[in-house]
């Protein structure tokens, strides 16, 4: 769904995994220019899935090295700067997108924070943004980044660093269920606009009036009369209950994605000694620490297929298949993983992914902001500063926001240095952008 003038912007994607965040942003009108993923099986999945869907690869391919090389290697950084310049020349704007690995911030993870091996990558991502200066950036991370005092302090320091480098930022803690994903999944989304790039409207307005609330429709889903637990009955049929949106349920997405005929339908962990345990857990019992059985007519708990979590099929005596896990993550039905990946890698890359429908929605918000079509009045009153201020009042958390930057504005003197008019067009020999509505094209049915 790109505009008549071509892609909205070129994207450099980091920590790309199997590419779902890129795919969602692509459908919103952006063009993946360069992607980076360290883990070879995930790179294989990224390339394979795009081939199966008939989508082209990123313009400058998929870089297979570690993220830190962009900071530590002069020639890698030069190549990155060249790719950013090329994307900017071709589309008018170049942005960074990425969700740094987050187990060190996760509530169920190590809690090592920014000192952990993975946690440090969030700081490195901020460092790279400040150094390369893309026109805008998007960062995705877990709720745990805001959930503890120590993690919030780190986050606010990193955000101040970005603001001092000239970025106007806005952020929000969002639940994917509010955006059409059949899953209770909280994620922090951070968006920044470089002050010296944008003047009409200025980057400060784009941040303060970012359309966070323009794409979540309908009633508050958590307050609806969702069904409770019911006795497990293998291969049973239960009608949809009244009063709940079926499109937010596991069963609706199983049917929509035709999971039982999907290429990854047979990819699931086989039970060994736990079969009797599988049968004993009621449909809809998702409160257990390990075994959780989905209810067919309810949304899924967070798709986290590790740390001893075992998600069971609503009406079959087995774990979820990879195809069913992808449906819970709202993947397009045409998205397939290569069969030679290990089951662990399959479930890890699916569980790590940003849900497709949510990624597309973030892309739509970003596209609207970049177009200058902004809501009337500020929309940034529910971000990290509001959370930090509330915690400061209730629990005494030191406020890490100072010097007039609490509202997400860039440091004085760093914005509106020069204004660059977008240049539309394509580089010679560049393959045509593959920005398709995956659903309308029949790839997701």
Q: Is residue 43 part of a domain?
A: yes
Residue 353 CB-half CA count within 13 A: 35
pLDDT tens sequence across 301-319: 999 886 678 999 999 999 9
Give me 136's structure tokens.
Answer: 């805008």
- Which residues, including other chains, have CB under 8 Å from residue 295's CB and lie 6 or more apart? 226, 227, 229, 230, 249, 250, 283, 284, 286, 314
The highest-confidence range among 140-144, 217-221, 363-367, by mean pLDDT, is 363-367
Residue 103 has pLDDT above 80, yes or no: no
d(CA 74, CA 170): 31
Nearest to 352 by CA among 306, 414, 290: 306
**Given this model, what pLDDT does residue 6 score?**
80
Distance separating alpha carbons of residues 402 and 168, to the nearest angstrom: 15
- Range with lowest mean pLDDT among 26-30, 307-311, 359-363, 418-422: 418-422
Asked which of 107-116, 253-262, 294-303, 381-390 is least confident by mean pLDDT, the reply is 107-116
When pLDDT is averaged across residues 236-263 and rounded to a whole number, the result is 97
- Total structural domains within the chain: 1
Least confident of 41-45, 76-80, 131-135, 249-253: 76-80
Q: How far is CA 358 from the centre of its chain?
A: 7
Name the residue with tokens 């020639």. 75
299 part of a folded domain: no
Alpha-carbon dihedral sign for residues 383, 94, 363, 373: positive
Instruction: Indicate which CATH number applies to the domain containing 32.
Output: 3.40.50.150
Per-residue pLDDT, 392: 55
| pLDDT tens for each residue of 400-433 | 333 333 445 565 433 332 333 333 332 233 233 3
Q: What is the arithmetic mean of pLDDT over 323-332?
A: 98
Question: Is residue 152, in this structure, part of any structural domain at all?
Answer: yes
Whether 202 is covered by a domain: the verdict is: yes
Q: Six-digit token pair at 171?
A: 């952020």
Structural domain contains residue 122: yes
Closest alpha carbon to 94 in 137, 56, 127 = 137
List all residues 6 or more positions away from 334 whose beta carbon is below 8 Å from its beta carbon.
Answer: 52, 53, 438, 443, 444
Read off the pLDDT band of 102 (50, 70, 90). low
Domain range for residue 113? Answer: 10-218+356-395
Considering the entire predicted model, what is its pTM? Answer: 0.86
Active centre residues (catalytic)? 102
Give domain status of residue 409, yes or no.
Answer: no
pLDDT (mean) for 41-59 = 96
Is 116 domain-assigned? yes
Q: Across residues 25-41, what is the average pLDDT?
A: 96
Cβ-count burial of 270 within 10 angstroms (0-12 exposed, 13-18 middle, 19+ buried)? exposed
- The answer to the question of residue 385 being in a domain is yes
Q: Provide the residue count of the chain.
A: 445
For residue 35, pLDDT beyond 80: yes
For residue 23, pLDDT beyond 70: yes
Q: CA-CA distance, 55 to 23, in Å (whole number)?
A: 9
* pLDDT, mean of residues 381-405: 57
Q: Are strands 136-142 and 186-194 parallel, antiparallel or unpaired?
A: antiparallel
SS3 58: coil
């Amino acid at each position: 769904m790109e505009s008549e003038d071509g892609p909205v912007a070129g994207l450099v994607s980091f920590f790309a995994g199997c590419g779902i965040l890129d795919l969602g942003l692509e459908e919103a009108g952006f063009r993946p220019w360069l992607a980076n993923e360290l883990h070879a099986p995930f790179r294989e999945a990224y390339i394979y899935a795009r081939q199966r869907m008939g989508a082209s690869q990123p313009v400058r391919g998929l870089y297979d090295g570690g993220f830190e090389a962009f900071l530590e290697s002069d020639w890698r950084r030069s190549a990155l700067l060249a790719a950013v310049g090329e994307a900017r020349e071709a589309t008018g704007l170049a942005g960074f997108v990425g969700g740094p690995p987050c187990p060190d911030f996760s509530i169920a993870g190590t809690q090592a924070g920014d000192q952990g091996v993975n946690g440090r990558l969030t700081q490195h991502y901020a460092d790279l943004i400040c150094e390369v200066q893309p026109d805008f950036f998007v960062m995705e991370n877990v709720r745990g980044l805001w959930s503890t005092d120590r993690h919030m302090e780190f986050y606010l320091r990193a955000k101040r660093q970005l603001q001092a480098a000239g970025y106007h930022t806005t952020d929000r803690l969002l639940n994917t269920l509010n955006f059409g994903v059949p899953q209770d999944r909280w994620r922090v989304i951070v968006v920044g606009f470089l002050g010296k790039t944008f003047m009409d409207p200025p980057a400060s307005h784009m941040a303060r009036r970012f359309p966070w609330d323009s794409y979540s429709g309908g009633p508050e889903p958590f307050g609806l009369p969702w069904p409770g637990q019911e006795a497990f009955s293998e291969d049973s049929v239960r009608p949809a209950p009244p009063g709940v949106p079926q499109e937010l349920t596991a069963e609706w997405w199983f049917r929509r994605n035709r999971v039982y005929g999907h290429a990854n339908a047979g990819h699931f962990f086989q039970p060994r000694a736990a079969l009797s345990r599988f049968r004993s857990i009621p449909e809809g019992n998702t409160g257990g620490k390990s075994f959780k059985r989905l209810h067919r007519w309810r949304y899924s708990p967070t798709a986290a297929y590790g740390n001893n979590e075992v998600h069971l099929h609503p009406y079959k005596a087995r774990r979820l298949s990879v195809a069913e896990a992808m449906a819970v993550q709202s993947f397009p039905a045409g998205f397939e993983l290569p069969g030679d990946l290990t089951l662990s890698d399959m479930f890890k890359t699916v569980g790590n992914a940003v849900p497709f429908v949510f990624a597309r929605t973030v892309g739509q918000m970003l596209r609207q902001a970049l177009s200058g079509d902004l809501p009337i009045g500020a929309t940034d009153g529910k971000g990290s500063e509001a959370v930090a201020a509330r915690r400061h009042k209730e629990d005494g958390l030191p406020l890490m926001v100072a010097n007039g930057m609490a509202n997400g504005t860039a440091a004085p003197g760093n914005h509106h240095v020069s204004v660059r008019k977008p240049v539309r067009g394509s580089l010679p020999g560049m393959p045509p952008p593959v920005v398709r509505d995956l659903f309308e094209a029949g790839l997701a049915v």
